[in-house]
Amino acid sequence: MSDDMPLFLVNSRDPDEEDNPLPRLPPELVEMIVERMWRLEDQLLCRQVCRWWRARVGIPVRYDNNNRRWRSYLLNQYSWATLSAEGRVLRLMEFKPWGGTHLQEYSSGGLRVKREVIFRPPNKVTEISHEHTHQRRLVTTFHLQTHAVNTEIRYNQLYCAVL
């Protein structure tokens, strides 16, 4: 073994830099590729290739049969959101510490919460159905280990104060 040969190689460069041929693609070609990714699955897979492609694809979008924007999705390490064509939140899942999650499903207009599902590790799930017309919530708690189910109705109370 020669003295000028390193014993180990350390790759400290960013993989998105000079060895990556993708940034050298003509912008027109990149635009053509991104335009043809109409399936949500294709967009999500393309975002996983590298940071350069994730920046080019942007927010994943789902189109209807008439090629109109139907849904878009926001995705980061803390949450996943489904947006309507108008940009209103329809579904929001927040990732909590220690594996907990909080899902909120909104009405079609995106103004009111219809349903919530809260998972508290290791074994508790709470589902809350909001009935805005009757001013009440149906709260169901599941215990995954014992299979115990508890359901209760909670009314939204209005408080009036006389000044």
> Which pLDDT value is given to residue 25?
76
In this structure, of 1-10, 94-103, 121-130, the range with the lowest mean pLDDT score is: 1-10
Distance (Å, rounded) from C-alpha 17 to C-alpha 32? 22
Answer yes or no: are the C-beta atoms of 64 and 84 closer than 8 Å. Answer: no
How does pLDDT run across 52-81, given as a tens digit for each residue?
A: 777 777 677 777 788 787 788 887 778 888
CA atoms within 13 A on the CB side of 42: 10
Residues of the chain with CATH 3.90.930.1: 71-163
The pTM of the whole model exceeds 0.85:
no
Mean pLDDT of the region 76-92? 86
CA atoms within 13 A on the CB side of 159: 2
How does pLDDT run across 105-142, given as a tens digit for each residue?
A: 998 777 789 999 999 999 999 999 998 787 888 999 99
Q: What dotted CATH number matches 71-163?
A: 3.90.930.1
Answer yes or no: are the C-beta atoms of 56 and 62 closer than 8 Å. Answer: no
Mean pLDDT of the region 31-60? 72
